[in-house]
Amino acid sequence: MAPFNATHFPSIDMAAVTRLTQAGRLSEAMALLQGRPVPEADAPKGAPRPILDMVAPADATGAWTAPGARVSGEAASEAPAQAAMPDVAQALRAMSERFTKAGGLAAAMPNLEGLGGGLGQGFGQGLGRTPAATPVPEGARFETRRFTGAHGARDYKVYVPSGRAGETLPVIVMLHGCTQSPDDFAAGTRMNALAEAQGFLVAYPAQPPSANAQKCWNWFNAGDQRREGGEPALIAGIARAVLAEFGGDGSRVYVAGLSAGGAAAAIMAATYPDLFAAVGVHSGLACGAARDMPSAFAAMNGGGAVQARGNGPAVPTIVFHGDGDRTVHPVNGERVIAQATPAEGLGTTVTKGTAPGGTRYTRTVRTDEADRAVLEHWLLHGTGHAWSGGSPDGSYTDPRGPDASAEMVRFFLAHALTENPTRH
């Protein structure tokens, strides 16, 4: 990708465009890009409000990246060269997400692909991209519901496999990443196909733009890290609603997520250990890793420290994290595991392997006295910020594997609330 050079477009104040976009003032930013001045009274004042945005890659299928984020370990020499995208690219991409939803950006800026030389390569390709329709086998259901509780409301989708004969089924709650949707996340993770094959329910809560401009779960807000409050109460309410409506098995409820959704999943394990029998965190952060915007950016870049679990029981946890992740530093995967580790010693087994798609990994398994895995950490060598083994039908996946969805389901179904000696 050719470097962006603002001197190519001397009539456009790209710094002002970036500030306006980060502040959510997209109409004014669009005016500047179209050569129309912003009235003086409307010009941005002071420092822009930061936005936690997992920036989409140029082709909208690879790993999310963040400007200036670090690359560590074996991935340093394998990381794509385009990882450090300039601030203006972030601004334009954020604006793309917002305007595309309204159907207006591509029409308003037909020459966007040429903007900034190499910057335009692939940016226009992602405009208007929607995930492939999630197939629903005959007899199965994939339906939208809405949960309303004391702390607000959220839409969610539920997959019910075909061939069900009234038996209670496990429930997996899937928390999407920034800019994603339930349909997109379902397509990318292929979790519905696993539910159909193995017989469980899947719930996909949806984070609306009204709660976060980029549809991120607000894992970095102190108010969204506590039991019976904020987003944890909404997600727990959705899980309970699925149990009630579809007759799910209350002892086998699990939660997993990607990136901001992974951080939210870790929060759910910390705040509702009596509801969730196990948790999966993909490219996420530990509960309490941040309490505000500055500490969120610090944690994403590897700052901070392991947060104590508190008084709650240890919830069996499986983690996937790429050592080439430039959005959420891979040390955060280690911190999720550390936070979930029970007080007493566990057996440890470390294996190395290569997935059929070519991704090398190191898998660390911690086992209890019954030789059952209660912690698993999959470190993916050379992988960035994307769902491992996912489908290109969804966004932000790395199809090279290993299959995070299948491994999480295997791990989850080995655990139930009533038979968990490590919960103390």
DSSP string, 180-249: --HHHHHHHH-HHHHHHHHT-EEEEE---TTT-TT----TT-GGGSSTTSHHHHHHHHHHHHHHHHHTEE
Amino acid of residue 181: S
Q: 122 and 207 in contact (C-beta within 8 Å)?
A: no
Burial of 153 (0-12, 13-18, 19+ CB in 10 A): exposed
User: Would you call 349 helix, strand, or coil by DSSP?
Assistant: strand
CA distance 260 to 282: 9
Give me 159's structure tokens.
């997959």
Q: Which residues pair with 364 in a beta bridge?
A: 350, 377
φ and ψ of 255, to 5 deg: -140, 140
Cα dihedral 145→276→223→65 (10° resolution): -80
φ and ψ of 171, to 5 deg: -125, 130
Catalytic residue among 27, 162, 210, 259: 259
Q: 347 and 403 in contact (C-beta within 8 Å)?
A: no
283 is catalytic: no
CA distance 412 to 276: 10
Q: Which residues pair with 65 in a beta bridge?
A: 55
> Which segments of 271-359 are extended strands (E)?
278-282, 317-322, 347-354
Give me 76's structure tokens.
């340093």
DSSP structure class, residue 175: E
Give me 321's structure tokens.
């994290």
CA distance 267 to 382: 27
Q: Which residues pair with 254 in a beta bridge?
A: 172, 278
15's enclosing H/E stretch is: helix 14-22
Cα–Cα distances (Å) from 309 to 121, 122, 267, 334, 341, in that order, read 45, 42, 10, 14, 9
Amino acid of residue 288: G
Is the Cα torsion angle 93, 95, 98, 100 positive or negative in sign? negative
* Active site residues per annotation: 259
